[in-house]
Structure 1
Amino acid sequence: MEMLNPYCGVDRDPRGVVRLTICNAGSLNILGTPAINGVREGLEALANDRQIRVLVVAGQSDKSMIGGADIKEMAKLDQASAEKFITGLRDLCEAARAFPAPVIARMPGWCLGGGLEFAAACDFRIAAHDAHFGMPEVRVGIPSVIHAALLPRLIGWGRARWLVMTAENIDAPTALAWGLVDVVAPSGGLDAAVEKTVAALLECGPEALRAQKSLLRQWEELPLKESVDLSIGVFGQSFLTGEPQRLMQGFINRKR
């Protein structure tokens, strides 16, 4: 594993799949400011690498990808330092959301608060069979903020309201039924489930996937007519990459 910084380890394979491991944040991968900044810097550095086709984000232990934000650090904050702290966490989540290639969150164990906000900013969430999820912030006197704003879009207003206002945890089958995660792996099968999704993404045109991710991000913000009209130009531009010509011809040749 290559260490980009003390909090960010990277493994690359020949297919263009990169695994980013969050390191040195304790067994539950609790994020304080140094880890938040380290992982964000790692994501921003990797974002410039056009060879990356899929990014998998994992924790160093199998207890968690990101357990949550560091309560010991947050307990000492005042208004100004609280805003600075949460801006750092926002920038980390946004680095995943803005990452040009697809991002898979590998989610064993616990995923709470800031960890779930980060996971919501990833493209795919693949959970262990015994994973648990929650937004406990209101129990410690703060609201859930920043990329918790993605939750109503993912799971609907009622379920998002339940998570952020009751602070009750949900298990993996519930998270799957709600649409909070995409896949729940069988016992011992988390890496196989991640690999299955990686394999599906590698079957797709890398430039097409990057264009699709960018479009999805814009569709979240734009009115419907603008979303529809904007995508016409993106469709045209895809023919400049050579991918449609190559992949469509391959499809036609297979059909013969």
Structure 2
Amino acid sequence: MSSEQSADTTNDLLVEREGAVMRLTLNRPQRRNALTDDVLLRLGAAVRQANADRSVRVIVLTGAGDKAFCAGADLTPGDTPFKPDFARMQLPLADLARAVHDCQVPIIGRINGVCMAGGLGLFGLCDMAVSVEEARFGMPEVKIGIFPMQILTILRDLIPPRFLNQMCLTGQPIDSKTAFSLGMLNKVVPAAELDAAVDALVADVMAVSPLAVRRGKYAMHAVEAMSFHEMMAFTESNISAMIQTEDAREGLAAFNAKRPPVWTGR
């Protein structure tokens, strides 16, 4: 598939389009793809761009190289996101999390290596994730005297409480096998099979109704803070609207005609 890559490939974040797929690559392998304010801000901008573009069907998030997905915040003086700025109301990682929360495009994490601290936060923002066997997952912040405050917010519903407590309070990582057993990963594969596994998941998403996916992801986030009766009222009104869409009519017609559907996304 042909790729349309952003003009400046020396960027710390590469944004590429392959048809309906947007690929975001943290491009700092020399720093294990550690995060800076600039990278986080550009990630947020790319997610918002994808959400506004109805031709984007899937986002794939990964890191450059074969050692690390993301090792967390860059702790190098001058590059770190931990610079104090009390005039700033919103921090870049939190702002990225808000952008992802409002994004109706599915995000697939291609976890190609170490996934630590802020990198685990990025991992938690993904809707699905495929990992290499060698990957390690952890929140080592307590080892340098801080705590994964924002990351904890992102991971609360992804990691079971006892393991979340252990990872936050001890700083000790877990391996990919454990992460898979906890339900954090969709699949764990040898490194040589990573791209094929991610591409298969992308193909699965691309095969279904783009409108159903976008409206469905919107609903999944919308009901998070609702009571049971609020959730039922919200979802019953939404299913009635979805049945009237072109994609729903096409899906039912294709099912009855025993043919592949042709989605319009409307």
Shorter-chain TM-score above 0.5: yes
SS in 1 for 2:62: strand
Residue from 136, 142, 167 that aligns with 1:138: 142
Unpaired runs of at least 5, structure 1: none
Q: SS of the counterpart of 1:65?
A: strand
Q: 2:196 aligns with which of 184, 192, 196?
A: 192
Give 1:119's aligned amino acid: F
Aligned-pair identity (%): 27
- Cα shift readout 1:147-192 (whole Å, capped 9, x = no counterpart): 4223231122111111111111111000000112221123411111
Residues of 1 paired with 2:141 and 2:74: CA distance?
Answer: 12
Task: Report the residue type matching 2:62 in the other structure.
Answer: A
Counterpart of 1:30 in structure 2 is 34
Say which SS state the counterpart of residue 30 (structure 1) adopts: coil
Residues in 2 aligned to 1:13 and 1:76: alpha-carbon distance in whole angstroms: 31
Higher helix share: 1
Match of 1:11 among 16, 21, 44: 16
**Distance in 1 between the 2:186 and 2:13 partners?**
25
CA RMSD, Structure 1 to Structure 2 (Å): 2.4
Contact 1:135 1:163 in 2 (8 A): yes
Taking a change above 3 Å as real, the CA distance of residues 76 and 52 of structure 1, as seen in their structure-2 partners, is closer
- What is the CA-CA distance between 1:114 and the residue it aligns to? 0.7
Specify whether residues 45 and 210 from structure 1 end up closer, same or farther in structure 2 by C-alpha distance, changes over 3 A only: same
* CA distance in structure 2 between the partners assigned to 1:173 and 1:83 by the alignment: 43
Task: Please tell me whether the aligned partners of residues 36 and 81 of structure 2 are also in contact (alpha carbons under 8 angstroms).
Answer: no
Q: What is the Cα deviation at residue 146 of structure 1? A: 1.5
Q: Say whether 1:162 aligns with 2:169.
A: no
Task: Indicate the residue corresponding to 2:121 in structure 1.
Answer: 117
CA distance in 1, matches of 2:7, 2:244: 34
Q: Which residue of 2 aligns with 1:64?
A: 68
Which amino acid is 1:108 matched to? N
Give the deviation of 1:115 after TM superposition.
Answer: 0.8
More displaced 10-residue stretch of structure 1: 1-10 or 139-148: 1-10
Matched-pair contact (CA < 8 Å) for 1:100–1:210 = yes
Q: Which amino acid aligns with 1:9?
A: L
How many aligned positions are there?
253
Q: Within 1, Cα distance between the matches of 2:191 and 2:70?
A: 20
- The alignment status of 1:173 with 2:168, answered yes or no, reads no
TM-score for both structures, normalised by structure 1: 0.89
Partners of 2:60 and 2:129 in 1: CA distance: 10
Counterpart contact for 1:128–1:186, Cα < 8 Å: yes
AA in 2 matched with 1:178:
L
CA distance in 2, matches of 1:151, 1:123: 12
Q: Write the letter of the residue equivalent to 1:3.
A: S
Alignment partner of 1:202 is 2:206: yes
Please give the secondary structure, in 1, of the residue aligned with 2:54. Answer: coil
Partner of 1:45: 49
Equivalent of 1:98 in 79, 97, 102: 102
SS in 2 for 1:155: coil
